[in-house]
Amino acid sequence: MTKVTAPRTRKVRVLATLGPASSSPEMIEKLFAAGADAFRINMSHGDQESKIPLIEAIRGLEKKLGRPSTILADLQGPKLRVGKFDGGKAQLEKGARFVLDRDPTPGDATRVELPHREIFEAIENDARLLLDDGKLVLRVVEHDEDQIVTEVEVGGTLSNSKGLNVPDVVLPMAALTEKDRSDLAFALDQGVDWVALSFVQRPEDLAEARKLIEGRASLLAKIEKPSAVARLSEIVEMCDGVMVARGDLGVELPPQSVPPLQKRIVETARRLGRPVIVATQMLESMIQAPTPTRAEVSDVATAVYDGADAIMLSAESAAGDWPVESVKMMDSIAEAVERDPAHGERVHFTVLHPDPTTADALAEAAKSITTTVTATAIICFTMSGSTARRIARERPSVPIMVLTPKKETARRLGLLWGVHAVHTKDVGSFEEMVAKSKRMALRHKIAGAGDRLILCAGVPFGTPGSTNVLHVVRLIGDELKNYGEER
């Protein structure tokens, strides 16, 4: 008999980052048991070889539990950094002139090397340069091809190789570095399900990654730069999912602008039918403390109320002192929000307009019918996952069980709101579809005697993109005895 893992009771997904604090198979299993639905592997830290045991542990858990596992590989992207200083650091005083140039000589309080030719090509007068995660702020006064003269607006100590953000201009830099291309090839060879692309500034930045991936994984765009926000709809249309990377957004934009922007990104992604992850500093204090602040709890709850598909833990689960507790806390917050009677109304604040297609019309109808006839679940047959994405976009009040013969599809659906994916044999007839739907709903404890199910599929079966059937069935008592082993 096929192994069965009961679906989560909550609909929003929890994405946990793996790292030094969560690298053993035992700890990864504990994170899953605590509520992690998917796992993020950060390619910025460690070498490629160190990622292999993590991937093997996740796939081993998949076999043990009989539930598709979901792995997201997060590429580093370009890292802009200043050069080195004589003595390792320098003190920049407010109001002083400070020059960034192309001279590799160690810097001092008046200048330092900036080893990024592209910045010299794109920079404009009055643009800001943010150093060390925004702790220091420079304003460009004048520039040429060899130096950028700035005035220090916010001073402080600047040490070797600190990071640099350029929020006010679009840089002529590719989102993929040589390291990223190597990491991408490695991740695809290892069979990851999602690839997250950093430093996305424009839709065109996704083209190279899409070409290199060749359909072997889903592509997620990290929205972390103001230039990406300016072309948000175009970027969302070009990718398979998006991440609200609030850390970098909070550096390059005023902090108070991030919450409304988060809502805008979530709304845009939902409107265009792409899964959206809210990430960075969700339970930051739990890196060191066993409980979060009340503000953090409210922050996580807001993302759930907004209808995000997934909420993500970063250092909390990767390097913190309380990785399991962090996952449990995120799980419990999400469950509490979804039990709120007002939650169902709030997740529908986003006005959706289905495309004029049969598949979109049926997805919208499936959500409506669940309420009209008090159905218990929606059962969706899919090859590519597109039908599941359409239904999840509607945020129905009942679970979405997705049955697919493609293991890759089942794994990629792990970031989708409300979806419980099952890798199983395909069906060949309408009667077989009905029988299998009932059998799998019973086996996975999604429905019981007397419950109604909404079935959504495409005829002819096995043809991607042919969703054209919506059918309502009712489970009768005798069927509880006859669902037997998978055929």
CA angle 314, 320, 325 (to 5 degrees): 90
Q: Above 70 in pLDDT, residue 342?
A: yes
What's 202's DSSP letter? S
Residues in a beta bridge with 142:
149
- The answer to whether 240 touches 269, Cβ cutoff 8 Å, is no
Active site residue: 222, 328, 389, 436, which one?
Answer: 222
Active site residue: 280, 370, 382, 467, which one?
Answer: 280
Strands 218-223 and 128-131: unpaired
CA gap 224, 246 in Å, rounded: 7
**Catalytic residue check, 280:** yes
Strands 377-381 and 400-404: parallel
Domain 89-165 sits in CATH at: 2.40.33.10
**Catalytic residue check, 81:** yes
- Positive or negative, the CA dihedral 39, 42, 43, 48 is negative
CA gap 93, 109 in Å, rounded: 8
- The answer to whether 17 touches 314, Cβ cutoff 8 Å, is yes
Q: Above 70 in pLDDT, residue 477?
A: no
CA gap 33, 421 in Å, rounded: 17
Helical residues (DSSP H) of 306-429, grouped into ranges? 315-318, 323-339, 343-346, 358-372, 386-393, 407-412
**Catalytic residue check, 358:** no
Q: Which amino acid is at 459?
A: V
**By CB neighbour count within 10 A (0-12 exposed, 13-18 middle, 19+ buried), where does 178 fall?**
exposed
User: What is the average pLDDT across 267-275?
Assistant: 94
Mind listing the pLDDT tens digit for each residue in 6-25? 788 899 999 999 999 999 99
CA gap 295, 300 in Å, rounded: 9
Domain 13-77+174-339 in CATH: superfamily?
A: Phosphoenolpyruvate-binding domains (3.20.20.60)
Element housing 71 (H / E)? strand 71-74
**By CB neighbour count within 10 A (0-12 exposed, 13-18 middle, 19+ buried), where does 414 fall?**
buried
Q: How far is CA 436 from the centre of its chain?
A: 31
User: What is the average pLDDT across 230-259?
Assistant: 94
Gyration radius of the chain's alpha carbons: 24
Domain 358-481 indexed as CATH 3.40.1380.20? yes
Mind listing the pLDDT tens digit for each residue in 280-332? 999 999 999 999 999 999 999 999 999 999 999 999 999 999 999 999 999 99
Domain coordinates in residue numbering, the chain? 13-77+174-339, 89-165, 358-481
- The answer to whether 448 touches 233, Cβ cutoff 8 Å, is no
User: What is the average pLDDT across 47-62?
Assistant: 97
CA gap 62, 65 in Å, rounded: 5
CA gap 275, 237 in Å, rounded: 12
Q: Roughly what angle, to the nearest 10 degrees, separates helices 358-372 and 386-393?
A: 50
Q: Above 60 in pLDDT, residue 487?
A: no
Q: Copy the structure tokens of residue 21.
A: 């604090």
What's 163's DSSP letter? B
Active site residue: 40, 162, 395, 412, which one?
Answer: 40
Active site residue: 30, 59, 79, 81, which one?
Answer: 81
**Catalytic residue check, 376:** no
Mean pLDDT, the chain, rounded, equals: 93
Q: Which amino acid is at 343?
A: H
Say what the pLDDT of residue 460 is.
75
